[in-house]
Amino acid sequence: MTVPAIELHDVTRRYDDGPPALHDTTLSVAPGEAVAILGPSGSGKSTLLNLIAGLDRPSGGTVTVDGVRVDKLNETGSARYRRAKIGMVFQFFNLLDDLTVIDNVVLPAQLSGVTRSAARLRAAELLDALGVARHAAAYPGRLSGGERQRVAVARALMNRPTLLLADEPTGALDTASGEEVKRLFNDLHADGQTIVLVTHDLPLAESCATRTIRLVDGRVVADDVRAVTTGRGR
Amino acid sequence: MSAMGRVVRSGVARRRVQTVVIALATMMAVTASVLGGSLLAASSGPFDRAFAQQHGAHLTAQFDAARTTAARLMASAGATGVIAAAGPFPTATAAPRDVAAEFDLPPMTIVGRTTPDGEVDHVSLSQGRWVNGPGQIVLSADYPVGPSPLDTDLRFPDLPGQPTLTVVGVARSVGRTADAWASPSDVAALTAPDATGGYQMLYRFAEASTAAHVERGQAAVLALVGSPALLGAQSWLTIKDASEREVALFLPFLVAFGALGLVMSVLVVGTVIAGAVGTATRRIGVLKAIGFTPVQAVRAYVAQALIPATVGIAAGVVAGNLLAIPVLADTDQLYGTTTTGVTWWIDAVVVAGALGMVALTAWAAALRAGRLRTVDAIAVGRTPRPGRGRWAARLTARLPLPRSVSLGLAHPFARPARAAAVLAAIMFGATTVTFAVGVAASLNRVQIAKDHAAADVVIDTFAPPRGTGPAPNTAPRALSADDTAKVTTAIQAQPGTAEYYRVATTQVAVAGMTGFARLDAFTGDASWGGYEMISGRWFTRPGEVTVPSTFLTATGTRIGDSVVLTDHGKAVPVRIVGEVLHPTNNLLVFADAATFAATKPNLTAASYHIRLADGVDVSEYLTGLNSALATSGFTAASEQSTGGSSTIVLLDALAALLTLMLVAVAAMGVLNMVVLDTRERVRDLGIHKALGMTPLQTIAMVIASVLVTGLAGGAIGVTAGVAVHRAVTPAMGDAAGTKLPTSVIDVYQPTMLLLLGLGGLLIAVAGAFLPAGWAARTRTAVALRTE
Ligand SMILES: Nc1ncnc2c1ncn2[C@@H]1O[C@H](COP(=O)(O)OP(=O)(O)O)[C@@H](O)[C@H]1O
Ligand SMILES: [Mg+2]
């Protein structure tokens, strides 16, 4: 059996007040899986994603990603871990407005110590592959929502992450742009990229996820593994 | 609670860092202003103020008790022109010995007074209390003993029964009417058996602004008492002149500090408040959107700034008044004045000024935000700002630097106004430090040059050992020809002697001038002895003289001119060959003793100054020389610069304290700006972190964001500091009656300037450090939720 890409064991995340945002969650994701996390607002989806990304720490339980005990990492360790293994995509793109598209994309590589010139080649390839190459020198503010999200995906893929995490990637997009992004994720999954996707967007989940996990009030209430098909919708 | 009250309260609570920074910045600024204001107040006519406060004596007269009576002296208070008089107080002159330290002190004039008050000369106590019975003595703050002489026993060994008095207080008479005060019965006991007692009378005249006025007053008094009874008299103008000359050296220095403190405070408070309110633009927009009128929104923000500022101001006033105690004690020491803490109106003006300043800037900034159309205001925080300084971001991105550093380098260009404020804060800080360091160095050099203390070993023929107190005013013990031969032989025979000279101090008259000039007559070459030349050269042969600036000014002569000195009725023509640095009010001439061989054949040396050969150990040399000198009764000691040392220590301490404070204010300004920047960039920081920026990289980025500003501010500040120093130092010299040689003005070495320039960087980094740490700890998950 291969090492799971993600393994959560009895993970709880409690904030100061109220019930825990995540409650005794145990789950395992295999490499190459595309998992969609569904659930109502406030059910703990983002919390779960942040724990996997090492942006947050569980109040209890263990988080292991690709053999790394994420919950045990210190700040520096978790930054290095994210650089090496995680690519993140957000609802509101979170691009840096004062940097050009290409500079946004090369940033993760540069933070790992790769020079700009060395990183540019891969960045250009990624932008090309994602169909936004002509905007390389533009500033993100000038791009449409769908284009921005592609740039964000390019940036997430820059360091060839083991794991792509996406938090409502289509949440801020119009239908057409949403469709673009959906196709993009399908392609990535087809290429073998392990993906964890938080979404409200049921069609998105259905088209590109091999497995759907449903959260309610911080608990996993359903975990459906579909027969692994093409991952390209039905 | 009203809606507005709630908004204000939540605003204060939510923006805790901002609130703390406002409070801290205003506190620092107010502290600096209270100190700066106090310095300025203390430095404005210090002598006149203190003299007026103490009802100082315009004339201090000393009468012979054998030639007049107390009753007659009392009646002299009625002389025309006299508006107040005090006395007669019995006086005596005697030399005490510090019993515990086994140390002879210079002779002192002791005045018998039962109270420090009176119609004239309200003496202010700075330590302890006034004498309330026999066996006690109050010392003048100007009498040279240690800083805390209380409870010291002083014995008068030359008097029958060797009376001993205990020091119970230290007091200052601005008019310098005595070295010490004791009860009248003790003064009688301190009068030597063969001496007649003396009486001191203190007079204030209706008019005393010129020497002629004082002389007229003195004549009126003597008309009643009789001239033969007068032993001596001292005009307040003499003391005023001496005091002002002395003070003139430091006054511009302290004034500059005070002014810098005020300017920096205004700058920092202004930028802190404007910045804090400016970042609230979006929230003001939201408030307006939910129904606040613009006026209400503006008022809410003014209140939000005023609450922490008021706390800061209160704390600053307390801190300022506390810090002022040691600072004003120092200035009192320097100025010879007495103060009782910060004047109330300085506190009042500073508080009112700070509150007004905070309210005004907050109001102006909030008004700007309040005037924005609501939609625009809300949009400010949401949509990306129109990208200012993107050229800088593009440029730095290409630098071969770690990305975290190059990202930070571009930050200031995105907010040029804020960067300018940071630049100004750093610049002022660097200017202050540069100026302070320079002036301290210049003053040090002046004080050292004043002492002419380049020799390694000195034999002083004055009574008490050197090094512990200034030389007393006693006449040098007359060296017999035999003594001179003995000392000279011992020095010459001692291995390790490289060269030596001896100095005798005497007086000569200067043709065309009233009074006498002091003559320092040298035997041997003294050009190496620490005589700093302003222009010309040291004399090299008999008939040449070197003089201080005062001499040239007073006699209207220049280098190269000849003057005639008269000595015992004989004219001795000399030529002036050099101007030497020696701040003094009096005429003074340095010359070869051989110049006066005819008129002063038996000059006895006051001191010998010896330079040792390279590598000779001073203490070994001293042991050898002193054993050779044992029979002569003189001792050699290592040379220490003594005269100005306490002044130097005082000035250095003051400069250090004030510099530290102004640097702290500057760093506060930087801190505030970086806090604002960090708050604004919280989302960017979150993104960076999500992309794998480590805490160290984050800190590097934030620090890098102040590097350019810090370096630029340091460079400009150092240049400005040098310029201020260039302008102020000669002014200080002028006021003190001396030109200054370039060695005193050119105190900056390139390495020193470089270090000072880096000081600006240091201020910047110090100010950025805390927020950098906060930035590194930003909760990414929270930061990214803000959208
Ligand atoms: N930083 C935080 N502090 C306090 N409560 C939080 C924080 N982040 C999330 N929560 C709470 O945890 C719960 C789950 O939040 P989240 O994971 O963001 O939900 P989702 O992404 O599913 O909408 C919510 O009730 C939310 O209010
Ligand atoms: Mg969410």
What CATH number does the domain containing A106 carry? 3.40.50.300
Please tell me the distance between residue B717's alpha carbon and the centre of ligand 2 in angstroms. Answer: 50
pLDDT for the residue A65: 94
Domain assignment present for residue A188? The answer is yes
Q: Does the pLDDT of residue B787 top 50, yes or no? A: no
Domain assignment present for residue A184? The answer is yes
Domain assignment present for residue B18? The answer is yes
Q: Does the pLDDT of residue B162 top 90, yes or no? A: no
- Burial-class residue B637 by CB neighbours within 10 Å (0-12, 13-18, 19+): middle
Amino acid at residue number B746: D
Q: Tell me the per-residue pLDDT of B283-338, one tens digit each, with 9 for 90 and over.
A: 777 777 777 777 777 787 788 788 888 998 999 899 888 888 877 777 777 666 77
- What residue numbers bound the domain in which A101 lies? 6-225
Q: Whose CA is nearest to atom 17 of ligand 1?
A: A44
Domain assignment present for residue A233? The answer is no
For chain B, give the percent of residues with pLDDT over 90.
6
Domain assignment present for residue B219? The answer is no
pLDDT for the residue B379: 54
CB pairs under 8 A between A and B: 93
Residues B375 and B395 both lie in one domain: no
pLDDT for the residue B466: 30
Collect all residues from B whose CB is shorter than 8 A from any CB in A.
Answer: 383-385, 387, 389-390, 393-394, 397-398, 400, 402-404, 410, 414, 683-684, 686-697, 776-777, 780-781, 784-785, 787
Cis before residue A19, ω within 30 degrees of 0? no
Find out whether B123 and B60 touch, Cβ atoms under 8 Å.
Answer: no
Write the DSSP symbol of residue B632.
G
Residues B302 and B328 both lie in one domain: yes
CA separation (Å) from A2 to A30, A66, A87?
8, 10, 22
Cβ distance of B690 and A97 shorter than 8 Å = no
Find out whether B137 and B180 touch, Cβ atoms under 8 Å.
Answer: yes
Atom of ligand 1 nearest to the CA of A49: 17
Q: Does the pLDDT of residue B709 top 80, yes or no? A: yes
Taking each helix axis from N to C end, the angle separating B750-776 and B645-680, rounded to the nearest 10 degrees, works out to 40
Domain assignment present for residue B465? The answer is yes
- Element spanning B590, H or E: strand B588-592
Average pLDDT over residues B637-654: 64
Question: For chain A, how far is it from start to end, CA to CA, in angstroms?
Answer: 29
Report the candidate in A102, A86, A94 with the shortest Cα–Cα distance to residue A169. Answer: A94
Residue A200, classed as helix, strand or coil, is coil
Residues B475 and B614 both lie in one domain: yes
Find out whether B265 and B665 touch, Cβ atoms under 8 Å.
Answer: yes
Residues B489 and B633 both lie in one domain: yes
Cβ distance of B692 and A56 shorter than 8 Å = no
pLDDT for the residue B786: 45
Domain assignment present for residue B213? The answer is no
Q: Tell me the per-residue pLDDT of B758-779, one tens digit each, with 9 for 90 and over.
A: 888 888 888 888 888 888 877 7
Average pLDDT over residues B115-137: 86
- What domain count does chain A have? 1
Domain assignment present for residue B367? The answer is yes
- What residue numbers bound the domain in which B403 lies? 386-451+645-787
pLDDT for the residue B373: 65
Residues B337 and B371 both lie in one domain: yes
Atom of ligand 1 nearest to the CA of B782: 1
Domain assignment present for residue A146? The answer is yes
Domain assignment present for residue B320? The answer is yes
* Pocket mutation for ligand 1, best pick of A13, A38, A47 (most atoms within 8 Å of C-beta): A47
Cβ distance of B687 and A79 shorter than 8 Å = no
Q: How close is the nearest chain B Cα to the Cα of A226, in Å?
A: 31
End residue of a domain, out of B638, B653, B672: B638
Question: Phi, psi at residue B503, to the nearest 5°?
Answer: -125, 135
pLDDT for the residue A81: 93
Average pLDDT over residues B532-537: 88
Q: Tell me the per-residue pLDDT of B474-483, one tens digit each, with 9 for 90 and over.
A: 333 456 677 7
Average pLDDT over residues B154-173: 85
Residues B425 and B461 both lie in one domain: no
Domain assignment present for residue A231? The answer is no
Q: Tell me the per-residue pLDDT of B59-74, one tens digit each, with 9 for 90 and over.
A: 888 888 888 888 888 8
pLDDT for the residue B471: 32
Q: How close is the nearest chain A Cα to the Cα of B688, in Å?
A: 8
Cβ distance of B692 and A50 shorter than 8 Å = no
Residues B290 and B153 both lie in one domain: no
**Which stretch of A154-168, B538-552, B676-690 has the lowest confidence by average pLDDT?**
B676-690
Report the candidate in A57, A49, A45 with the shortest Cα–Cα distance to residue A6. Answer: A49
Domain assignment present for residue B215? The answer is no
- In order along its 234 residues, chain A shows pLDDT tens digits of 578 899 999 999 998 878 899 999 999 999 999 999 999 988 999 999 999 999 888 999 999 999 999 999 988 898 899 999 999 998 888 888 888 999 999 999 998 989 888 899 999 999 998 889 999 999 988 898 889 999 999 999 999 999 999 998 888 888 888 888 888 889 899 989 999 999 888 888 888 888 999 999 999 998 888 744 444 433
Taking each helix axis from N to C end, the angle separating B251-278 and B294-335, rounded to the nearest 10 degrees, works out to 160
Average pLDDT over residues B184-188: 85
Residues B515 and B573 both lie in one domain: yes
Q: Whose CA is nearest to atom 16 of ligand 1?
A: A44
Question: Phi, psi at residue A65, to the nearest 5°?
Answer: -125, 120
Residues B770 and B712 both lie in one domain: yes
End residue of a domain, out of B187, B207, B227: B207
Cα–Cα distance for residue pair B62/B179, rounded to 1 Å: 14
Cα–Cα distance for residue pair B291/B363, rounded to 1 Å: 20
Residues B666 and B720 both lie in one domain: yes
Domain assignment present for residue B548? The answer is yes
Cβ distance of B781 and A50 shorter than 8 Å = yes
Atom of ligand 1 nearest to the CA of A48: 17
Domain assignment present for residue A127? The answer is yes
Q: How close is the nearest chain B Cα to the Cα of A97, in Å?
A: 6
End residue of a domain, out of B366, B381, B396: B381
Domain assignment present for residue A55? The answer is yes
Q: Whose CA is nearest to atom 2 of ligand 1?
A: A15
Cβ distance of A92 and B687 shorter than 8 Å = no
Residues B479 and B400 both lie in one domain: no
User: What count of Cα atoms within 13 Å lies in the side-chain half-sphere of residue B370?
Assistant: 19
Find out whether B34 and B346 touch, Cβ atoms under 8 Å.
Answer: yes
- What domain count does chain B have? 4
Cα–Cα distance for residue pair B776/B695, rounded to 1 Å: 5
Give strand pairing partners of B380: none
Token digits of residue B753: 């300037």
Cα–Cα distance for residue pair B772/B678, rounded to 1 Å: 8
pLDDT for the residue B305: 81
Residues B340 and B317 both lie in one domain: yes
Residue B600, classed as helix, strand or coil, is coil
Collect all residues from A whose CB is shorter than 8 A from any CB in B.
Answer: 46-47, 50, 53, 55-56, 75-76, 79-84, 86, 88, 90-92, 94-100, 103, 107-108, 110-113, 115-116, 139-141, 155, 159
Q: B682 to chain A: which residues are within 8 Å by CB?
A: none
Average pLDDT over residues B636-651: 63
pLDDT for the residue B299: 80
Find out whether B574 and B602 touch, Cβ atoms under 8 Å.
Answer: no
